[in-house]
Amino acid sequence: MVFPENDYDTDGSFMFSSGNYIFQHKAFGADMFRYSWNFGKNWTQWRNWEDTTTIDPALFETPDNFWSGRHLMVQCA
């Protein structure tokens, strides 16, 4: 199910702190999640829900990334 008004979060859910990227989940009620760091080309395995996910910055530092900045797509189930 898709809710177009709720697809994008610009309230600071994705941030850099203490040398890592941090994503604070807001899809309360979800049981599982996965994320993509390259616009959906690759996804992590489905994982059990957690309030905060720590992401290694090396994930974003590949020559395959043709864009500037950091981007994260998260799917919840």
User: E-assigned strands of the chain?
Assistant: 14-17, 20-24, 32-36, 47-48, 52-55, 73-76
Question: Going residue by residue through the chain (77 aa), what tens digit of pLDDT does each one get?
Answer: 455 555 556 677 899 999 999 999 888 789 999 999 988 999 999 999 999 999 999 988 888 887 888 888 899 99
What are the residues facing 17 on neighbouring strands?
20
What does pTM read for this prediction? 0.81
If you compute the radius of gyration of the chain from its CA atoms, what whole number of angstroms results?
Answer: 13
Distances (CA, A) of 18 to 26, 54, 56, 70: 21, 10, 11, 16
